[in-house]
Amino acid sequence: MALIDVTLPKWGMTMQEGTVQEWLKQVGDTVSDGDVIAEVETEKAVGEVEAPADGTLAEILVEAGATVLVGTVLARVEDGG
């Protein structure tokens, strides 16, 4: 089992940061690879952050309402492998 970082992707060439709108999963929830676990607002649209693996949402590092740079670790998923 390993902890996998969930980072804020760079959704567009000019994107610098995003504001977390809502966590759709809570710490302890089971997630599947590709599940949308958070919504993040940028200047263009609200994007969906996906779980990078099957497992459990282990940590949430950036709360809703916070604005962070592209590449920031938003959460960690403990994978089931």
Partner 1 sequence: MSEDRELYFVRAMYEGLREAMLEDETVVVLGEDVDRSIIGATKGLIEEFGEPRVRNTPISEATFCGACVGAAAVGLRPVVDLMVGSFFYVAMDQVANQAAKLPYMSGGQVELPIVYFTATGPSGSAAAQHSENPHPMLMNVGGLKVVMPSTPADAKGLMLSAIRDPNPVVYMQDAVLGGIKGPVPEGPHEVPLGVAEVKREGSDVTVVAIGALVRQALAVADALEEEGISVEVVDPRTLVPLDEETILASVRKTGRVVVCDNAKLTCSAASEIAAMIAEKAFDALQAPPRRVAWENTPVPFSPVLEERVLVSRDDIRHAVLATVGGRVPGAA
Q: Which residues here bind partner 1, judged by CB under 8 A? A: 10, 12-17, 42-45, 70
Cβ-contact 35, 64 below 8 angstroms: no
Q: 19 vs 56, which CB is nearer to partner 1?
A: 19
Cα–Cα–Cα angle for 41, 52, 74, rounded to 5 degrees: 45
> Whole-number minimum distance, CB 59 to partner 1, in Å?
26
> Whole-number minimum distance, CB 27 to partner 1, in Å?
28
Q: 20 vs 31, which CB is nearer to partner 1?
A: 20
Helix (H, G, I), strand (E, B) or coil at 3: strand
Q: CA separation (Å) from 32 to 13, 44, 78?
A: 28, 27, 11
Q: Which neighbouring-strand residues pair with 60?
A: 75
Q: 1 vs 13, which CB is nearer to partner 1?
A: 13
> Whole-number minimum distance, CB 15 to partner 1, in Å?
7
